[in-house]
């Protein structure tokens, strides 16, 4: 059978099974490519292909494992509790400040890379404020979701990890040029919060804004017994040092995360029992993410080892007008919005991205540029009914998913557009090859 046709059938089968929830992404990433690898006549060579794929993704898997453990541990220690308390005092009584604080707090808490945890923590801290002043809760879910979509582009976030894994790119190399676009996206959201705040001020009237009303917010840490308030300055310095070394690139990101986590555990939880307890508390999140990364090694290993990616890319190149070929990066950025809305991140990054990258390579567009461009649609992706954390968000706030989608779609598209334009200006991905 034609390799290109077989590859497209494999991707289509994978997408269909994921979208219809007939198979979990973890199982589909292992089973589907194995079956199609046999159909391609490569049964004898599947083992080495799989091992090569897993080896290529091992550094990413290690980085994600320790990044989740590190930032979750920092949250457990109560590192962010004083910042949350200060935010609540600063925004207290003024809807505009509350809305701006929602963006800042969500961006901070999103550093752990887990959307569900971010929503739980931020809504616990902020929803009482919105209820107290009878504010429009659509503003809350809009700002939280779009902020989370931007912050998910960190190297330990799901989309960036998937893109790096699919194209065998170092996550730090992929991430650093995205920072200007992320900053611009957050600045846009703060401006949007100001716009929402003015509307709320007008609705409430000056009499409704009382700066002296008492309010006690909830702490960020979900494990009170794990807090270490006396070590807050040490933990803050550790995080700043980690982020500084990340930017400098002195050591591989996976090694930095391992060292930071080990230091954090030794200083904050010197007892073996306490260390085991903290690791166990976050083992579920770690297993879900890391197992997916290693399973992706099977998919990418077979997709590349059998020659399917090359054959598929040639087929795609054949239908792209040559005049548009050098513009593959911005085209990918635009396509990422509808594609990641209608299909899952797993299907898009492991199924579609390798094809787009190979097609771009024919026109001199680097895989890194295509990978960065593919991340631009994440704020829109989170609106998809395929995203479990979105259901958690709307259920916690108490609004209808359809209302959320209608209200947030335009702001999400605007955020994606801002990040894309700034990304092109900052050469995170070129406008033209």
Q: pLDDT by residue (tens digit) across 62-88? A: 887 888 788 888 888 888 777 666 766
CA–CA gap between residue 385 and residue 397 (Å, rounded): 17
Q: What is the pLDDT of residues 118-169, one digit of tens each?
A: 887 788 778 877 887 889 999 999 999 999 999 989 887 778 888 988 888 8
- Could you give the count of Cα atoms lying within 13 Å of 27 in the half-sphere of its Cβ? 6
d(CA 117, CA 80): 14
Q: Is the pLDDT of residue 243 over 60?
A: yes
Instruction: Please tell me the distance from the alpha carbon of residue 423 to that of residue 426, in angstroms, as a whole number.
Output: 5
Cβ–Cβ under 8 Å, residues 6 and 40: yes
pLDDT tens digits, 354-384: 888 888 888 888 999 999 999 999 999 998 8
Q: What distance in Å separates the CA atoms of residue 348 and residue 44, rounded to the nearest whole number?
A: 28
Cβ atoms of 118 and 126 closer than 8 Å: no
Residue 408 has which token pair? 């947030």
Can you tell me the mean pLDDT for 198-225?
Answer: 63
Residue 238: which residues within 8 A CB-CB, separation 6 or more? 74, 260, 263, 264
Which tokens sit at 77? 């220690």
Cβ–Cβ < 8 Å for 228, 235: yes
| Nearest alpha carbon to residue 275 among 77, 81, 78 | 77
**How many C-beta neighbours within 10 Å does residue 304 have?**
19
Average predicted confidence (pLDDT) for the chain: 84
Query: What stretches of 20-45 show up as alpha helix (H) in DSSP?
Result: 25-39
């Amino acid at each position: 059978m034609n390799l290109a046709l077989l590859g497209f059938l494999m991707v289509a089968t994978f997408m269909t099974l994921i979208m219809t929830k007939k198979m979990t992404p973890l199982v589909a990433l292992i089973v589907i490519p194995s079956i199609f690898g046999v159909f391609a006549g490569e049964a004898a060579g599947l083992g080495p292909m799989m091992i090569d794929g897993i080896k290529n993704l091992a550094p990413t898997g290690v980085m994600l494992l320790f990044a989740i453990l590190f930032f979750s541990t920092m949250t457990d220690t109560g590192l962010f509790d004083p910042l949350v308390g200060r935010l609540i005092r600063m925004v207290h009584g003024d809807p505009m400040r509350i809305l701006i604080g929602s963006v800042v707090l969500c961006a901070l808490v999103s550093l752990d890379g887990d959307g569900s945890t971010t929503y739980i923590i931020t809504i616990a801290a902020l929803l009482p404020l919105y209820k107290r002043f009878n504010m429009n809760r659509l503003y809350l879910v809009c700002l939280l979701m779009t902020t989370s979509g931007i912050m998910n582009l960190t190297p330990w976030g799901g989309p960036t990890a998937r893109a790096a894994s699919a194209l065998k790119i170092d996550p730090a190399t992929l991430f650093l040029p995205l920072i200007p676009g992320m900053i611009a996206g957050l600045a846009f959201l703060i401006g949007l919060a100001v716009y929402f705040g003015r509307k709320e001020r007008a609705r409430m009237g000056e009499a409704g804004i009382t700066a002296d009303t008492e309010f006690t917010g909830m702490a960020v840490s979900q494990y009170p017994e794990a807090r270490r308030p006396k070590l807050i300055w040490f933990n803050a310095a550790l995080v700043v040092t980690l982020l500084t070394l990340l930017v400098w690139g002195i050591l591989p990101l996976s090694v930095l995360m391992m060292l930071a986590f080990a230091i954090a555990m030794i200083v904050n939880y010197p007892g073996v029992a306490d260390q085991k307890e903290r690791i166990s508390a976050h083992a579920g999140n770690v297993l879900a993410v890391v197992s997916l990364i290693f399973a992706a090694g099977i998919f990418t290993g077979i997709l590349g080892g059998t020659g399917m990616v090359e054959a598929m890319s040639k087929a795609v190149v054949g239908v792209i007008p040559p005049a548009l070929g050098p513009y593959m990066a911005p085209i990918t950025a635009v396509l990422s919005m509808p594609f990641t809305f209608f299909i899952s991140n797993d299907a898009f990054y492991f199924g579609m991205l390798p094809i787009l990258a190979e097609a771009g390579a024919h026109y001199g567009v680097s895989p890194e540029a295509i990978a960065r461009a593919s991340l631009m649609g994440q704020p829109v992706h989170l609106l998809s009914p395929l995203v479990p954390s979105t259901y958690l968000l709307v259920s916690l706030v108490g609004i209808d998913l359809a209302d959320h989608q209608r209200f947030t779609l335009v702001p999400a598209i605007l955020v994606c557009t801002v990040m894309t334009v700034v990304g092109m200006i900052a050469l995170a991905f070129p406008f033209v090859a």
